Each structure stands twice: as C-alpha cells, then as structure tokens.
Amino acid sequence: MTDMTPLPVSTPITAETAPPVLDLRGITVAYPRHDAPPQVVLDGIDLTIRGGEMVGLVGETGAGKTLLARAILGNIPGDGRLTGGTLAYRGQDITRIAEDDSPVRPGRDIALIVSNPRRELNPVLTVGDQITNVIRHHLGLPKDKAEARALAMLKAVAIPDPERRMKAWPHELSGGMAQRVVIAIALACTPELVISDDATSALDVTVQLQVLEMLQALVREQGVAGLFITRDIAITAHFSDRLVILYRGEVVEEAPRDAFFDRPQHPYSILLLAAFAHSEEMRARWTAEPLPAGVKPACRFADRCVRRQDRCLTERPALRETAPGRRVRCHFPVEG
C-alpha cells in the first residue's frame, strides 16, 4: 500500500455525523402517452443517504426501484422525463445541470453495480487490465500505481490468489468471483455513493452473503453511502441501516431497520414481512378481497389492503412522520 495512492480508509464515518451524500426531494418521473396524460411512474420520492450508511430500497418488480437508480445517475431510459423534484449531491442542487457540466462523474463519484456481472466485464480484457484502465481513466495514476491499486482492490474484495486473478479472463471466473471483480471496479476510485441494483440476486445464497458482507464492510470502512436495491426484504434485515419501501412509484414507509422489523406500520410492509417469514397464514390474513372492477382508489394500495376504509378510496394518503426517523403513507397505519 506504500507505493500507491492510499485507499481512504480512516476513522469510520457514522450516519449521524456525515453530511448527506445524496438528497432527493419530490423526485417525479413521467412518460408521455399518446392521447392521455403522461404516466407518472415515480411520484414525489424523497430519499436522503449519508456516508457510511446502507439504505435498503425494497419493492416488488415494477415498483420503480431501478428507474430511481437511473434517475439518480441522470440516465432515465426511453422518453421518460424528470417532471418534478430536486436532486442534491453533496449539498449542491444538480437537478437542472446538463450532463457535461454536472459535478457528478458516473463511475467515479457514483458507482452502479448491477445483477449481471458478466455483461459488465469486457470479455477481451484481463481482470487486471479492466480495473487498471478504470483507475487510470478516473484517477489519472501512472500504470504501475494503477496496477498496484487494482491488486489492492482484488485483495479488498477477498478474491483468492489475487496476483493470479489479475491475469485471468472474465470467462475463467465463477459468478461470485465475477461479481467481486465488478465490485472491485466499482469501488476502485472510491466513489461517494454505491448503488447495488439487485446485484447479488443471481448468486447462490452462500456467495450472496459473502459478497454482501464484503460490500457492507467496504461501505463502512470507506465511509461511502450505499443504496441497496432489492426485492428480497430478508437481505435488508442484515445489510441495511434504514429501509425505504416503494410501492407503485411511491414511498409508503421509511424506518430504521430494527424499528421496521419490530413494528412495521404500513399494511404493504406487513405483507412483505409475511413473505420474509414464509407465513402463509399471515399473508392470507393481510390480503384483502379485490375492489370491484372500475373502482380507482386514491390510495394505490387500497385494492390489496385489509385496513381500507371509505377515506382511502377518495383521499390520497400523504407520507407523514409517525416517530423520529419514521414515515408512513397511510390514513390508518398499524400501531403497536
């Protein structure tokens, strides 16, 4: 480590003392439709992430998790548009800054790790060259120092026999090994925010836990902020400090991890926990009869909610604070 730019491992930065790395306020994304108003797919999302903390963003397929990650990176797919809200990075409002002038350098300040590592790796470059190239591009280090740093990153992500793996080709790696290499590339330039978008779902359980433990340790030690996107709420029980629950483009609950698992307040959160507990009885108890065809309730969860009342059909619930650090979007949250 003496012949290279040191990794910024120092006193761990706690969530309480660090300034927000990312602060989203009211982020709204819509897609135009022919002969109809734009379809709003993310609706007023608030999200704050500090250095050294892992935030678990949980929701089912189609809830808008990946789209939110793309919006953070300024890369909304298709003809979707950011139609409302602000996005602040390190306290600077970057919502309207053009890509060329943005202070955020994707891959340098914000790293995205996705679920298919093999697609991320260049098949015609060795592992060592891929990491080295990224380091040279973003940090401008000379080749020998970049290679030393690349090797240090392979050691940091616990790749066995890292000197030999530097010379390996992507097709020679197992799935878990390839995912570690992708994480090494993502963290090699010490980004301030790491977004893991369902990054470990394709791995077997043992490897998944190893990779997540390693990712969590690196987030803690380097004081970067982690946004951990997943459909699997069980994983967040181990690897998140705070949970944000997304349902059909809205945040419906936000809470510190322990408070959430002790006492979830939104009926949808309870359904997620029923799946977590593999409790068919709990799931049945918290699943409602569907609403009659044609009824368009104001609360997006009303058609599945056992607690719905007339008010839920006519008045959209606001996301409101129920305790310090806890917010829930429900007229009749679960108490106690």
Task: Tell me, rounded to whole angstroms, the distance of Cα 219 from its chain centroid.
Answer: 13
Nearer to ligand SF4, 184 or 245 (CB): 245
Question: Shortest gap between Cβ of 247 and ligand SF4 (angstroms)?
Answer: 9
Nearer to ligand SF4, 219 or 302 (CB): 302
Residue entry with tokens 């004081």: 223
Nearer to ligand SF4, 149 or 266 (CB): 266
Return the half-sphere exposure (C-beta side, CA atoms, 13 A cut-off) of residue 17.
Answer: 5
Nearer to ligand SF4, 94 or 334 (CB): 334
Residue entry with tokens 């660090």: 18
In angstroms, the CA 157 to CA 297 distance is: 48
DSSP element (H, E) containing 259: helix 257-262
Question: Shortest gap between Cβ of 260 and ligand SF4 (angstroms)?
Answer: 16
Nearer to ligand SF4, 251 or 305 (CB): 305
Question: Shortest gap between Cβ of 302 and ligand SF4 (angstroms)?
Answer: 4
Question: Shortest gap between Cβ of 307 and ligand SF4 (angstroms)?
Answer: 4
Which residues of the chain form contacts with ligand SF4 (CB under 6 A)? 267, 299, 301-302, 305, 307-308, 312, 317, 330-332
Question: Shortest gap between Cβ of 135 and ligand SF4 (angstroms)?
Answer: 48
CA 299, 196, 89, 122: dihedral to nearest 10 degrees?
Answer: -130
Question: Shortest gap between Cβ of 273 and ligand SF4 (angstroms)?
Answer: 15
SS3 content of the chain, % helix, strand, coil (to 5): 35, 25, 40
Nearer to ligand SF4, 130 or 269 (CB): 269
Nearer to ligand SF4, 120 or 253 (CB): 253
Nearer to ligand SF4, 156 or 245 (CB): 245
Report long-range pairs for 46-50 (Cβ below 8 Å, ≥24 apart). 46/251, 46/319, 47/22, 47/23, 47/244, 47/251, 48/20, 48/22, 48/23, 48/24, 49/20, 49/21, 49/22, 49/193, 49/225, 49/226, 49/227, 50/15, 50/18, 50/19, 50/20, 50/21, 50/225
DSSP per-residue letters across 41-55: EEEEEEEEEETT-EE
Length of the chain measured in residues: 336
Question: Shortest gap between Cβ of 331 and ligand SF4 (angstroms)?
Answer: 4
Do 245 and 231 contact (CB within 8 A), yes or no? no
Do 51 and 219 contact (CB within 8 A), yes or no? no
Whole-number Cα distances in Å, 199 to 88, 115, 116, 209, 238 = 25, 4, 7, 12, 16
Question: Shortest gap between Cβ of 58 and ligand SF4 (angstroms)?
Answer: 16
Nearer to ligand SF4, 220 or 307 (CB): 307
Question: Shortest gap between Cβ of 267 and ligand SF4 (angstroms)?
Answer: 5
